[in-house]
Structure 1
Amino acid sequence: MIVFPNAKINIGLNITEKRADGYHNLETVFYPVKINDALEAITAPQLNFSSSGINIPGDGANNLCIKAYELVKLDHNLPALDIHLHKHIPIGAGLGGGSADAAFFIKLLNQQFGLNLSVEAMQNYARQLGADCAFFIENKPVYAFEKGDQFEQVELDLSKYVIVLVMPPVHVSTADAYSGVKPEQAAESLKDLIKLPVTEWKDRIKNDFEKSVTGKYPLIGEVKQSLYEAGALYASMSGSGASVFGVFETLPSLKHLEAESSVFYNV
């Protein structure tokens, strides 16, 4: 069976407080976008993971898909699988690619082996694998809060706009991104701001990571400025970076960015 995990972008991201468990409370809006990996699993004599496409750092035995398999197997009788992931979603981009792979793998297991897991049960597995992982179970726009793993549905449809994503040749460590942020309550809740017209987002919806990350990696800030110069109604870094997206009324020309960055149109 094969599935196609998709990426997400963060529209706004406020880091509101440091938690006793070492994590941070935040608020953000997750919005799914059409940049996809391909993930396949077939029964096999023994459990195996392989990958192609973008190189995935680290040991494949520790891949989130393997961790998802082992987690579900604690409660259900699963056969050994040969798992292959073709990686297309940029890594270190703030797009949730690894979390998407794990969540889609949980859904694959549920469907392929008739586990009859509820959405809530699948989300509970996913929450153990990553703060944004549970989002990809339902995979629809949500207002996310606490660690980013609690959700409220939002009525947000950007299908009449063109979303373009740019991945500059920069890798941002999530730990580094958090180290440059001072948590504080936002003056205006993102849950209210997201209801504004897109044309009003520019000066109202922010990403708390941007100031410190663009200070360390100026190219990210330059990409964002280029998107505005090309006509973006709203542009922002996604998550802790390094990717930057723009929301346009029509398809822009970004040839000048393609020379050193990966540009994904109509995501």
Structure 2
Amino acid sequence: MKVYEKAPAKINLSLDVLYKREDGFHEVEMVMTMVDLADRIEMQELPRDTVIISSQAGYIPLDEKNLAFQAAKLIKERYDVRQGVYIHLDKHIPVAAGLAGGSSDAAATLRGLNRLWRLNIPADELQRLGAELGSDVPFCVTGGTAVARGRGEKLEPIESPPQCWVVLAKPPINVSTAEVYGKLNVRSIRRRPSTERVVEAIRLKRFDLLCQELGNVLEGVTMELYPEVRQLKECMLRMGAEGVLMSGSGPTVFGLVSKEAKVARIYNGLRGFCKDVYAVRLLT
């Protein structure tokens, strides 16, 4: 038997860091949603008790360092599953990009193995499992749009943003999330996004207000380390994207665009700046 799962990328419409916790993690408050750029995952039972992962992408680990591998091991151990599984990752989301590609693969693996092995694990329990793998995994288990608090595992689902185009561009650099958080001085943050105003703009389906309220307190840190991220954002704004923000700890920058006529111009303009450029829709 085989099962297939789609693992969409996420973007942050807002990201605020409130303080550093005693456990070493940061307390965050974010609004996250998903876009129609996705990895595709195929899972097939194996007769022997093992986990094997393959991918067409030559740049990702296929062992214990891979979050999908970790997800399969976790669900096998937690529910005493003695069957093996072969997992193929058809990668489309760029890695180390601030788009939760690895987390979404892990979430899709949890969902897929729940079906493959008929474990009947409820969604909230899958989210708790996901939290053991990474802060973005619980959100990726159910997707949609949500306010995330805590480390990112406390989720409050909200309605979808107004439909629009999203142009994503990742410069040819990889950013370490740990390094960005390590260099963030929470006390020196001067301008914070308002979660309430972002949620209200979404509730009112006001695209213009949403674009005004986008904000990410990690942006300044990443731009200090990698000036090309700032250049990319300025470039997108000049080309006419209505709302532009770095996603997560970067380096991917996204632009929200209301009119399809603008999308090709922005996409083609950015292709001269970096090769990883995508024009997609929000997953509403």
- Paired position in structure 1 for 2:151: 147
Mapped to 2, the partners of 1:93 and 1:123 lie a distance apart of 22
Q: Does the alignment pair 1:62 with 2:65?
A: yes
- Paired position in structure 1 for 2:171: 168
> 1:98-140, CA deviations, whole angstroms, 9 ceiling, x for partnerless residues?
0000111110011111111111111111010000100012111
Alignment of 1:27-46 (within 5 A): 27-44=29-46, 45=48, 46=50
RMSD: 1.8
Query: Which segment is superposed worse, 68-77 or 223-232?
Result: 68-77
Q: Does the alignment pair 1:72 with 2:101?
A: no
Aligned residues: 265
Identity across matched positions, percent: 30
Q: Could you say what secondary structure the match of 1:16 adopts? A: strand
Query: Which segment is superposed worse, 177-186 or 23-32?
Result: 177-186
Structure 2 counterpart of 1:240, from 234, 249, 253: 249
> 1:187-225, CA deviations, whole angstroms, 9 ceiling, x for partnerless residues?
664133331333234554311111121122111111111
Cα distance, 1:145 vs structure 2: 0.8
- Paired position in structure 2 for 1:230: 239
Q: Does the alignment pair 1:98 with 2:102?
A: yes
> 1:38-74, CA deviations, whole angstroms, 9 ceiling, x for partnerless residues?
2111122332112222511x45233111211121112
- Paired position in structure 2 for 1:47: 51
Structure 1 counterpart of 2:195, from 190, 194, 197: 190
- Paired position in structure 2 for 1:259: 272
State the AA in 2 paired with 1:69: A
Mapped to 1, the partners of 2:53 and 2:69 lie a distance apart of 7
- Asked whether the equivalents of residues 190 and 205 of structure 1 are also in contact (C-alpha less than 8 Å), the reply is no
- Paired position in structure 2 for 1:6: 8
> 1:131-187, CA deviations, whole angstroms, 9 ceiling, x for partnerless residues?
01000121110011111111112223232x111111111211111211221225876
- Asked whether the equivalents of residues 54 and 90 of structure 1 are also in contact (C-alpha less than 8 Å), the reply is no
Q: Could you say what secondary structure the match of 1:105 adopts? A: helix
Q: Does the alignment pair 1:221 with 2:213?
A: no
Mapped to 1, the partners of 2:213 and 2:89 lie a distance apart of 38
- Asked whether the equivalents of residues 70 and 133 of structure 2 are also in contact (C-alpha less than 8 Å), the reply is yes
Q: Which segments of structure 1 move beyond 4 Å, counting only runs of 4 or more?
A: 184-188
Q: Could you say what secondary structure the match of 2:64 adopts? A: helix
Alignment of 1:131-146 (within 5 A): 131-146=135-150
Q: Could you say what secondary structure the match of 2:78 adopts? A: coil
Query: Which segment is superposed worse, 245-254 or 100-109?
Result: 245-254
Mapped to 2, the partners of 1:62 and 1:187 lie a distance apart of 34
Mapped to 2, the partners of 1:158 and 1:201 lie a distance apart of 9
- Paired position in structure 2 for 1:207: 216
- Paired position in structure 1 for 2:129: 125
Mapped to 1, the partners of 2:64 and 2:192 lie a distance apart of 44
State the AA in 2 paired with 1:257: L
- Asked whether the equivalents of residues 50 and 60 of structure 1 are also in contact (C-alpha less than 8 Å), the reply is no
- Asked whether the equivalents of residues 127 and 149 of structure 1 are also in contact (C-alpha less than 8 Å), the reply is yes
Cα distance, 1:4 vs structure 2: 1.6
TM-score (norm 1): 0.93
Q: Could you say what secondary structure the match of 1:176 adopts? A: helix
Structure 2 counterpart of 1:88, from 92, 97, 100: 92
Q: Could you say what secondary structure the match of 2:167 adopts? A: strand
